[in-house]
A and B are shown apart, each in its own frame.
Chain A
Amino acid sequence: MEISKSEYEYSNPKTFALPVDSEHKATEFRLFSVAAPHMRAFHLSWVSFFACFVSTFAAPPLLPIIRDNLNLTATDIGNAGIAAVSGAVFARIAMGTACDLFGPRLASAALTLITAPAVYCTAIASSPISFLLVRFFTGFSLATFVSTQFWMSSLFSGKVVGTANGVAGGWGNLGGGATQLIMPLVFDLIHKNIGSTKFTAWRIAFFIPALFQTLSAYGIFFLGQDLPDGNYSELHKSGDKHKDDFSKVVYHAITNYRGWILALTYGYCFGVELTIDNIIAQYFYDRFNVNLHTAGIIAASFGLANIFSRPGGGMLSDLTAKKFGMRGRLWTLWLVQTLGGIFCIFLGKVGSLGLSVAIMLIFSVFVQAACGLTFGVVPFVSRRSLGIVSGMTGGGGNVGAVLTQVIFFRGSQYTTEKGLELMGVMMICCTLVIMLIHFPQWGGMFCGPSSKGVTEEDYYISEWTSAEREKGFHKASMKFSENSRSERGKKVDSAPTPADRTPNTYV
């Protein structure tokens, strides 16, 4: 006798290694566990994102050799740096769509594999143009950020989603710092121990990040799972997961103004982080006359702060949400990002090496925590279009990186220190728009929840038409609404509970 998967599950409830809620999302985040599907997916996604970051920023630490081999000018280098982060602008949005439609496992494995050839082919680049092209296509791999955040938002409940997103994002971003140490080390090994000449050794070195990327894609495909209950492809076929309509998903993402605001503000924390990854080694080398190795170590420490600062931001978001709900998340995000902008201004103004490194480290903590805090808010903007909203926000980050590099760090209009000051000012100004975010069910920074008594269900179910609701497509959003009630914070007197709505029964 054939039974559907959901009937099978009802009679044989799945047991998970972690405690789960009604959507089977984990309510705890256990860092040192690799239990499937939740923690295993976490480790697979951050490692592959880390690999993509290593590949994307593998060139900057080896630039002193590459620029001589390929006869690059400062303009060529600047353009390649901009190309490296601009490809991901649209790739991140496309990735969001792919996650909504095909699931994060397939989407991220596919992207990681497709961009691996660009990294392999960096080894055979022979001119400024080919260098720009390989950096451009390699940069697409940064879109795996979106699949990471989407995957974590699908597997972890609201109580810990900020933490899960923050650690996964932070440890992936770590790659940008780690690569400043890894690539020179690999280069040294090949140049001194194997004996290749400099102009050949750097080429061989690029095979390491490329292989790492390829292997991580394999890991995700074979060991990962999209949702607690299975993969998209299986769930689609069994009817448990409705295959959504692309145009509807896009519509609900682009008509939600909160997604656009977060895209802008993310450009001024994550975008700033990417820009700094590209320019900071040269800044210390030129302004303070440290040698290249030292400049590389300083540059690495900026990215390495991600090991705790971005996760810290995510955890802070979850912590403030416990007491103050979504309003707490928004206030903390605004505060931390504004402080990041202030320290960026200081960084440009400071003239001594020791103080400059100290300010840079403080700046890195605030700006990376702001990234973590942003993705404590993103999972709540939309349930139906979570992927595209994540993609838009992520893409906005890269737009910020392109903008800041083009305006402040290209050509000789501003010295690098002046550029840093002005970038800090721009950070503070663009962060102000967070004040405009308002959730009718929870409120915003200055206003409380809507007086009309809007509930979480009202907000998330409004993304589905009545025809779709009749077919039951909105079931997942219903469960999510109930679970997101924690975003009201401890003061629960604000919004009413849905007494006379359709009861939350589901098979």
Chain B
Amino acid sequence: MSDKAPLMLKCSGFPRAGGKASVKTPELCVCLLVALAFDDIGKVGAAALVLKAGQDSIVKWSLNTTVAPGTDSAYKMMVVKLCYAPVSQKDRGWRKTVDDLKKDKTCQHDIVTSQYSPSSNTYTWTVARDVPTATYFVRSYAENAELVKVAFGQTTDSNKTTNLFQVQAISGRHVSLDISAICFSAFSILSLFGFFFMEKRKAKASQQK
């Protein structure tokens, strides 16, 4: 069984072409549809979906358009990214959403970059090991020939409240690390006692001189 997230609703604004330096999100055409399909593995109820970093074949996505024909004539490349939901951006300025795409830090992890094609695209994605524990949605940008972003779509609504999923990161800890840390720490403390003992002995010896 797969779970399909609902698709983008509106198609407002008008497509922007041209190689301008800074592209602002509200100026982009919301003309793409992004959906997520998940395997049974990792599914935790209907409320929150939790993916584990480093596990295989968890996510499938498909992409298609339902807008007026010809809108996508400029689209050449698709860039699909993993983006932070507002709850994971709170009190974390390094993930802030800013309109100017050059400074926007919402979407920091790439999923895939591929040639644009209007029909359905699927990609099997392995959550990378450096993806942190957080709540996410998926967004895809369409770029024109000058690699300027001209349109996008995302798996959640415009307020980024629906169909969010979570990723559970690896801890980075290993048993060998734990043991090493504890051993070296114990060694340091033991050395300290050794120092005090040696110092006392030296002082006694000099007293007898």
Contacts and interface: CB of A to CB of B under 8 A. Distances in A.
A137 B66 CA distance: 59
A280 B171 CA distance: 28
A236 B93 CA distance: 57
A124 B134 contact: no
Contacts of A74: 91-93
A109 B195 contact: yes
Interface in A417-442: none
B195 A106 contact: yes
A135 B185 CA distance: 16
A110 interface: yes
B188 A117 contact: yes
A363 B172 CA distance: 39
Interface string B171-183: 1111001101110
A121 B195 contact: no
A379 to B, nearest CB: 26
Contacts of A233: 199-200, 202-203
Contacts of B207: 234, 237-238
Contacts of B125: none
Contacts of B14: none
Nearest to B91: A73
A203 B180 CA distance: 11
Contacts of A67: 92, 94
A369 interface: no
Interface string A47-80: 0000000000000000011011101011100000
A214 B132 contact: no
A210 interface: yes
Contacts of A217: 188, 191
A64 B94 contact: yes
A124 B177 contact: yes
A216 to B, nearest CB: 12
Interface in A95-136: 106, 109-110, 113-114, 116-117, 120-121, 123-124, 126
A117 B189 contact: yes
A114 B91 contact: no
Contacts of B209: 5, 238
A362 interface: no
A357 to B, nearest CB: 20
A351 B33 CA distance: 41
Contacts of B191: 113, 214, 217-218
Contacts of B189: 113-114, 117
Interface stretch (A193-201, A310-318, A479-487): A193-201
Interface string B182-194: 1011111101100
Contacts of A114: 188-189, 192
Number of chain A interface residues as a range: 35 or more
Q: Which one of A5, A69, A121, A214 has the greatest number of beta carbons of chain B within 10 Å?
A: A69
Contacts of A75: 91
A221 interface: yes
A497 B24 CA distance: 78
Contacts of B195: 106, 109-110, 113, 221
Contacts of B172: 69, 197-200, 202-203
A199 B196 CA distance: 38
A198 B130 contact: yes
Nearest to A105: B199
B103 A289 contact: yes
Given A120-B181, A124-B177, A199 B171 contact: yes
Contacts of A120: 180-182, 184-185, 188
B119 interface: no
A214 B184 contact: yes
Interface in B128-153: 129-130, 132-134
A198 B181 contact: no
B7 interface: no
B2 interface: no
A64 B108 CA distance: 12
A459 interface: no
B94 A126 contact: no
B159 interface: no
Q: Which one of A109, A199, A203, A218 has the greatest number of beta carbons of chain B within 10 Å?
A: A199
Given A113-B188, A199-B171, A237-B207, 8 more contacts: A69-B171, A74-B91, A114-B189, A123-B181, A214-B187, A230-B206, A231-B202, A237-B204
Interface of A: 5, 64-65, 67-69, 71, 73-75, 106, 109-110, 113-114, 116-117, 120-121, 123-124, 126, 197-200, 202-204, 207, 210-211, 214, 217-218, 221, 230-231, 233-234, 236-238, 286, 289
27 contacts: A5-B206, A65-B130, A67-B92, A106-B199, A113-B195, A114-B189, A116-B185, A117-B185, A117-B186, A120-B180, A120-B184, A120-B188, A121-B182, A199-B129, A199-B130, A199-B170, A199-B171, A200-B172, A200-B173, A200-B177, A203-B173, A204-B177, A214-B188, A234-B206, A237-B203, A237-B206, A238-B209
